[in-house]
Amino acid sequence: MADQNPVPAAPPRPVRSTGIVATAVWTVMKVLVILWCAGNVLLLAWVAMNSFRGGSRIFSRPLELPRSLSLVNYVSAWTTSSLGRGFLNSIVLVAVCTAITVVIAAMAAYALARTRVPSAGPLTSFFAIGLGIPVQVVIVPLWVAMNAVSSFMYATVGWWDERLSLGLLYVATSLPFAVFLLTGFFRSLPEELEEAAALDGASAWTIFLKVMAPLARPGLVTAGMLAAMGLWNETLLALVFVTENTKYTLPQALLGLYGTMQYTSDWGGLFAGIVIVVIPTVLLYALLGKRLVEGMTLGAGK
């Protein structure tokens, strides 16, 4: 006999409001990021456009196009404001410190990623803790330490250069992030290749140089790019530890150019100086930006 009791209807399925909210938040975030990027690009384009102009018309008619692409402002900023000398100092400092940082970080990260000793984890965390310490907090101890180093070198060798103190600090402050990034990258590489090389008789140093380092090239390029861009724009340590005008870095020279504005009002020269400071990092990202993203994503899994 058929059941005469009606089958109760299934309760209505709840609306997935969580998914809708997440989609809306994601859309809003994407719009904000696009607006932020567009604002920065437009601001840089405005600065670049006005670097070819001069006088008070920059502010009376800020959106007026330059009548000619004269390089007078760039020549003035490069020569009279010592941006050329600052550019050379920054190029040498950033290139040398970036190379030293990447080499030391690669060896430290490989050892931390592959060693089985119990202290490897705490040591990796020690480098991660260094990421959260602002350099402003330790600026006085750093000054005392560098003063002791320079005094020791003057007493023993009779010579020292402020840029060497700045270089030591650049390497020291760049190492925590580079080691942290490369440790995760080396952990993502297969251990079977090392085992095969070891069976063929390769030493640990040979395995690192000829097997693992070439495989870690995207991570090494990423660490180098991030270190170089951070050091190129660094200003605080340079202001504290470099006092001679002839040893100024590029951001210091740009600040000097800004300080002369109260006498010259050469806004076109100041904008040309800003372009000189910004262009190298933009070109570096344009050339190696794809490798930067690749290195960040490959090492993010571990």
Residue 166 has pLDDT above 60, yes or no: yes
Residue 164 has pLDDT above 70, yes or no: yes
Q: What is the pLDDT of residue 1?
A: 44
Higher model confidence: residue 169 or residue 50?
169
Opening angle at CA 216, ends 213 and 219, nearest 5: 130
Higher model confidence: residue 289 or residue 15?
289
Tens-place pLDDT, residues 216-246: 888 899 899 999 999 999 999 999 999 998 8
3-state secondary structure of 265: coil
Q: Report the distance separating Cα 302 and Cα 155, nearest Å.
A: 47
Q: Report the distance separating Cα 140 and Cα 145, nearest Å.
A: 9
What does the pLDDT average to over 121-132?
Answer: 79
Q: What is the pLDDT of residue 193?
A: 85
Kindly indicate the confidence band of residue 97, based on its pLDDT and cuts at 50, 70 and 90.
very high
Half-sphere exposure of 238 (CA within 13 A, CB side): 23
Kindly indicate the confidence band of residue 2, based on its pLDDT and cuts at 50, 70 and 90.
very low
Kindly indicate the confidence band of residue 8, based on its pLDDT and cuts at 50, 70 and 90.
low
Query: Can you give the pTM of this predicted structure?
Result: 0.82
Higher model confidence: residue 92 or residue 188?
92
What does the pLDDT average to over 25-48?
Answer: 93
